[in-house]
Amino acid sequence: MATYTTAALVRKRAENLDASLTDANIEAYIDTAEGMLNAIIGVSFIATFTVAKHGVLRAAAEAWATQCSIAFNPAGFTSLQEAETVLSMLGVQWEQALLLLNNKSVIAYMESL
């Protein structure tokens, strides 16, 4: 079950998502993102997650899940170029979050909260 973010928040990040994309589809992408994030950082914050303490996890999960949701069918965007631009921005956000989460002092700080 998605913890770090929600399908509704993913939909807000890209308002032009395909209407046939269900919340269950998006939540599957979120679950995948959460599993990857937990593996990367070596710890799970699912039991203790709060946005105030672990916002970088929300940002990362949303970026990944939104990228997957756009890739599902980019036809909702006015052009393929628009979809590619949004995908590129989300990719940068995902990579920035991973840079933070690869820093053991950041993880130690988050564990201390």
Give 16-65 pLDDT, tens digit per residue.
999 899 999 999 999 999 999 999 999 889 888 988 889 999 999 999 99
Task: Kindly state the tokens that stand for 102.
Answer: 């690869």
Distance, CA of 103 to CA of 24 (rounded, Å): 32
Would you say the C-alpha torsion 44, 41, 39, 15 has a positive or negative sign? Answer: positive
Give 29-43 pLDDT, tens digit per residue.
999 999 999 999 998
Say if residues 57 and 4 touch (Cβ distance below 8 Å): yes
- What CA dihedral angle connects 4, 7, 9 and 13, to 10 degrees? 120
